Structure 1
C-alpha cells in the first residue's frame, strides 16, 4: 500500500512556519550568506541543506516543511537540492546521521570509562537539560529530540526513517550498556542485571521525558522529573535521597 502524503499545514501552521524560515535565515547555525558561487553547487551546499532541514523540522515537523521551504531558508535553488538529495526523505535520513555525528564527541566525553559510571548518567541528564535550555532560548519553545520527533511522525510512513532511527538508537544505547556493565562490576547494580534491557528502559524513559516536555512546551518537567526518574530506573532513588 502506497503511503499517504502528509497533509499541507493549515493557515496557522503556515504562518508559524514562515516565521521559522525567517528566523532560520538569521540563525547562527544556518547563516548561509555569501557561501554560494555561481554554477555547480558547492560541497558546502549539501551541509547547508542538512543544517537547514534539521532546524526547520526540529522547530515544526517533517510534514509541514516542504522542499521549497528548505531551499528558501537555505538560499539554495531547488535544482541544487536535487543535485544532492533525490527526495526529502533522503535529506531527512542524512540529517539524522549528521545529527548523531555532531553529538558523538559529547557522548564519548560523557561516557568516558575514566568517569565513574553513575556520574556518566548524571552528567548525561545535566547535558540534556542544558541542550533543551539552549533550544528554548534559540527557538522560543522546547524542541525535544529531533530524531524522536521525526521518528514519531514518519516511521510508519517511511521505512528508511524508521530504520535509521533504530540504527542511531542502538548506537546510543551501547553507551548506556557499557556504563551499566561497569555499575554491575563495581557492585552498584545486582550481578543479574540485564544491561541491554535496562539500557533500553533508560533510553525509552529519556525520549519519553523529552517528548512530553516538547508537547507541553515546559522545560520544568525535565528539571523536576528527569533525574529522580532515571535514578529510580537504576534502583538508586533512596541513595540519591540520602545523599541530598
Structure 2
C-alpha cells in the first residue's frame, strides 16, 4: 500500500471519528466526511463499504491512541491514587480543549456513539464493549494495588469496582455533553471518583485545612 493510499485512509478515519464525536453518527453523512477530509467519494468506498465500517475503523484508532496514554497514566511505578486523579485531570483537559475548538462539550467518543447505536448495530456495540473492557483492565489493576497498599479492604470486589469507575466516568461525560457545560465535570469528576472508592480527595482536604 502506497503512502498516499495510507494517508487517504487515515484521513478518512481521523475525520469520521472527529465529526461523529462532535455531532452524532446519524447527523454525519458520507458526503460530510468526504468533504471535510477533502477526499473523493469513490476513494471512500475504495477503503470502506459503508459508514458503519469506517466507524469501526475510527473506534479501532481511538483504542490504539488511548493505549499508550493509559500505559503512561496507569504505570505500576505511579501511586494508584495518582493514576486516578491524573486520569480525571486528563479527561477534563481534553473536554475543555474540544470545547474551545468546536464550541460545545463533546463527551465520551465511544460512550456517545454507544448511546446512539448500541441497540441497533451489534458490531459497533461489540467494538465499544471491547474499548470499555480495555479501560476496565487498567482500573481493576489499580484497585488491586489500592487493596495491596491497604487503602481499600481486602475483600474489595476489584472487578465490580472497575465497572463502577467506568460507569461513573462515562456518565459524568454524558451529563456534561447534555448540559453543554464543564462546570460539574471540573468540580466533581476527580473528587467524585475518589469518593466512589471511599478515598480522600487530597486537594479538597488541603483546602479544608
TM-score between the two structures when normalised by the length of structure 1? 0.81
**How well do the aligned residues superpose, as a CA RMSD in angstroms?**
1.5
Please say if 1:95 is aligned against 2:55: no
Q: CA deviation at 1:240?
A: 6.5
Question: 1:74 and 1:242, CA in 2 relative to 1: closer, same or farther beyond 3 A?
Answer: closer
Aligned residues: 205
For residue 42 of structure 1, give the secondary structure of its aligned residue in structure 2: helix
Instruction: Give 2:75's match in structure 1, choosing from 112, 118, 124.
Output: 112
Instruction: Measure, in 2, the Cα distance between the counterparts of 1:63 and 1:184.
Output: 43
Question: 1:120 and 1:238, CA in 2 relative to 1: closer, same or farther beyond 3 A?
Answer: closer
Tell me what 1:22 maps to: none
Q: CA deviation at 1:243?
A: 4.3
Unmatched segments (≥5 aa) in structure 1: 1-36
Q: Which runs of 4+ in 1 moved over 3 A?
A: 237-244
Instruction: Measure, in 2, the Cα distance between the counterparts of 1:142 and 1:120.
Output: 24
Return 150-159 or 234-243, whichever deviates more: 234-243
Q: Indicate the structure with greater helix content.
A: 2
Tell me what 1:24 maps to: none
After superposition, where does 1:216-235 map in structure 2 within 5 Å?
Answer: 216-235=179-198
Please say if 1:84 is aligned against 2:47: yes
Please say if 1:174 is aligned against 2:137: yes
TM-score between the two structures when normalised by the length of structure 2? 0.94
Name the larger-Rg structure. 1
Unmatched segments (≥5 aa) in structure 2: none
Instruction: Give 1:159's match in structure 2, choosing from 116, 122, 136.
Output: 122
After superposition, where does 1:4-19 map in structure 2 within 5 Å?
Answer: none
